[in-house]
Amino acid sequence: MKPLNILMILDSLEIGGTETHVLEISKALQARGHKIVIGTSGGPFAQRFQQAGLKLIPMSFQSDNPIHTNYTELLQQMRDIVVEHEIELIHVHLIAGLKIANQISQEMLIPVVFTAHGMFYPWRQLQSLIDGCEHVIAVSHPVANWIKLRMGFPQKQTTIIPNGIDMDYFAPSKTPSNKFRQELGVKDSDFLISLVSRMAWGKTRIIENAIQAIENLATRYNVKLAIVGSGPDSPFIRALTTMVNKRHSEDLIFLTGALLDPIEAYQESDLVIGTARVALEAMSCGKPVLAAGNSGYVGLITPENFAAHWKLYFGDHDYLSFPNSSKLEQDLEQIITKPDLLEQAKQIRPLMLDYFSIESTINQIEQVYAQVLAIDTVQDSSTASIHDLKPEISTTVIPPVVTERAVEMPIPEKAAPKVTIKDSPKLAATPLVSVVIPTYNRAKYLSQCLAALFKQTYRPIEIIVIDDCSTDNTSKVVEQWLKKVKSDELTLRYHKLPVNLGFASAVSIGYYLAQGEFVANQDSDDISHPERIASQVQFLLTNQDYDLVGTNYEVFTHNLNQTKKAYLVRYDNNIVKCYREGNHCVCFGSLMIRRKVIDKIGGLTKFMVGAEDYEYVARAIVQGFNVQNLRPVLYYYRQHQEQRSKEFYSLRSSLTAHVKEEEQ
């Protein structure tokens, strides 16, 4: 193929799979004689591009949706690059660059090729831009399905081309240095697992599960976990890691941060947990891989399931099951105790050599370029193509089996959704609300709590009291209130547990017993305003983009007429920011949750005892659910000496925001 002048557009150069892919194909294309120019705003990964001798030209990308002055500035910058470097084709990888490239394409008649690296793009925005592309490259089968079915982009203009791996570089180490292990302080005899991942989206859930699984396995095996990566959820993972390591005589979990080159982590590990490009690189290094990613859990990759798991992109774009720590722990234990499984997994490298090499990927990319520019080209038959992997991997551009989970996977937006507030108190519908009250020896407060719920203006309500094996007269208090139930629209259910299971289990049991479309929390020593449930239901009915809603609250000791303001609560985008910084800004007792949240992430865990509420809200945010707080004071938080939160104050203070109080 004749050399081309190609403009690669990559909005920023963070450390991640997309950036690594662009680096590798740019190096390989340049080695074949093409002139590669990269327009980017830069970032920590720029060093790797410069070391490879690639030309970086600064562009002032500031957001995913450039507007006004920034949009005009970017247009002029791209025009200048096209003219100065006589660009013949623009290859775009992220959405802001696509918006600019489409306009330049129309003005200057330069064709645009777009590589879709996943399903994380805001789909409505992408749908409005993708029609301006001459061709779309999908890095996996699920992404190709998504482009065709969700975007409506023509199948004949879509090609599946996987990430290409430099097999000479990502190879088994001939002379292990153990440098990575030594820096961590991990012994040669320890079974070292490296989890290489960005700390964001569903990947954070995988990291959380792995930490919990390793802590459990460490009681039986010499196992350690190195977490390689960074991202917006780093503070949460850091807090979790610190807490786990403090519970043991030696560190079990190690955080390395993002590495410009993770090859030593791959080569010196006994097992790698990862997805997408990480899985491919680790397998190329001859390491067994347990695949789990943004979409969900896949499991150990073997020669037998390799082709099938590639169609899921190893858990990044589709999955076999939802992730959970128990399943991960079981699989890890099986791998640790059965060395033959590790040896079997190492046999995957020959498949990698034949079908996922950078040479094969570049051959296919050049074919796309030639098709777009109507250039005759001769395919190099000496290099295998991904389409030669039969029978498991389809030779069609779009595979015939449509994976519904991949097509329907929600795409997290960066900004908080717009909130709709209606003045009218009338509700469009009256779904059942389940109010879950976990309680342990709170009989003297429970009656006031139930009285406030009986006074709620909203109906229908079911109140579920989960008695965590109380030793006081809690059952008698509930019996008195059971006699006061006079309407089918208010029910009271009482369940006394045979043993004390703790707060997290009591709440989770209540969640599983709840029958309502919405589930409301309620602490047994606190009091809800009569309009609390009605206000939260109306909010969720009129704001379908939100899934959890708390309320502002005030603090009292004995008398509700003497309350103090609480300054814990945050609103809108500040909620996500707060949790990503490792802080807490939702009063858990005031929270109302859509049923689909519980169906997706389950109940509370015991992993962060004393901060289960923080962990649950953080987990919901990580899974893509939106959280809001109502500004009116609709919940009253009681302070007393027997509070559960006082017992764990030292832990919670390290994880949550401080609450300032002042006399009203």
Q: What is the pLDDT of residues 105-127, one digit of tens each?
A: 999 999 999 999 999 888 788 98
Least confident of 170-179, 182-191, 470-479: 170-179
Domain count, the chain: 3
| Cβ count near 491 (within 10 Å) | 16
Name the nearest CA neighbour of 97 among 70, 118, 74.
74
Q: Model confidence over 217-258: pLDDT tens digits? A: 999 999 999 999 998 888 888 888 998 999 999 999 999 999
Sheet (strand 271-274) strand order: 253-257, 223-228, 191-196, 271-274, 289-292, 297-300
- With respect to residue 340, please indicate whether it lies within any of the assigned structural domains: yes
Same domain assignment for residues 104 and 217: no
pLDDT for 281 equals 97
Q: Which of these three, 408, 424, 442, is where a domain ends?
A: 408
pLDDT for 662 equals 35
Same domain assignment for residues 17 and 153: yes
Same domain assignment for residues 132 and 16: yes
Q: What is the residue range of 271's domain?
A: 179-350
- With respect to residue 419, please indicate whether it lies within any of the assigned structural domains: no
- With respect to residue 173, please indicate whether it lies within any of the assigned structural domains: no
Same domain assignment for residues 400 and 292: no
- With respect to residue 327, please indicate whether it lies within any of the assigned structural domains: yes
Instruction: Give the span between the Cα atoms of 638 and 34, in whole angstroms.
Output: 69
Instruction: Give the span between the Cα atoms of 369 and 488, in whole angstroms.
Output: 68
For residue 384, is pLDDT > 60?
A: no
For residue 420, is pLDDT > 70?
A: no
Q: Which of these three, 301, 335, 350, is where a domain ends?
A: 350
- With respect to residue 652, please indicate whether it lies within any of the assigned structural domains: yes
- With respect to residue 42, please indicate whether it lies within any of the assigned structural domains: yes
320-325 LR contacts (CB < 8 Å, sep 24+): 320/296, 321/296, 321/297, 322/296, 322/297, 322/600, 323/202, 323/205, 323/206, 323/209, 323/292, 323/296, 323/297, 324/209, 324/297, 324/602, 325/208, 325/209, 325/210, 325/212, 325/213, 325/216, 325/607
Same domain assignment for residues 135 and 221: no
Q: Considering the entire predicted model, what is its pTM?
A: 0.64
Average pLDDT of span 435-459: 96
Same domain assignment for residues 464 and 381: no
Least confident of 155-164, 211-220, 239-248: 239-248
- With respect to residue 426, please indicate whether it lies within any of the assigned structural domains: no
Same domain assignment for residues 283 and 370: no
Between residues 477 and 542, the one the model is more confident about: 477
pLDDT for 600 equals 86
Same domain assignment for residues 212 and 252: yes
Same domain assignment for residues 132 and 273: no
Same domain assignment for residues 135 and 281: no
For residue 611, is pLDDT > 90?
A: no
Phi first, then psi, for residue 61 (nearest 5°) are -70, 130
pLDDT for 602 equals 87
Same domain assignment for residues 476 and 381: no
Q: Model confidence over 58-72: pLDDT tens digits? A: 999 998 888 888 999
Q: Which two tokens stand for residue 563?
A: 């309350």
CATH of residue 386's domain is: 3.40.50.2000
Average pLDDT value for the chain: 87
- With respect to residue 321, please indicate whether it lies within any of the assigned structural domains: yes
Beta-carbon contacts of residue 60 (< 8 Å; ≥ 6 apart): 41, 70, 73, 74, 77
CB of 290 closer than 8 Å to CB of 300: yes
Average pLDDT of span 39-54: 96
CB of 563 closer than 8 Å to CB of 608: no
Same domain assignment for residues 631 and 555: yes
pLDDT for 73 equals 96
CB of 26 closer than 8 Å to CB of 54: yes
Least confident of 226-235, 249-258, 319-328, 526-535: 319-328
What share of the chain has pLDDT > 90, as a percent?
A: 67
For residue 656, is pLDDT > 50?
A: no
Instruction: Give the span between the Cα atoms of 287 and 302, in whole angstroms.
Output: 11
pLDDT for 645 equals 52
For residue 345, is pLDDT > 80?
A: no
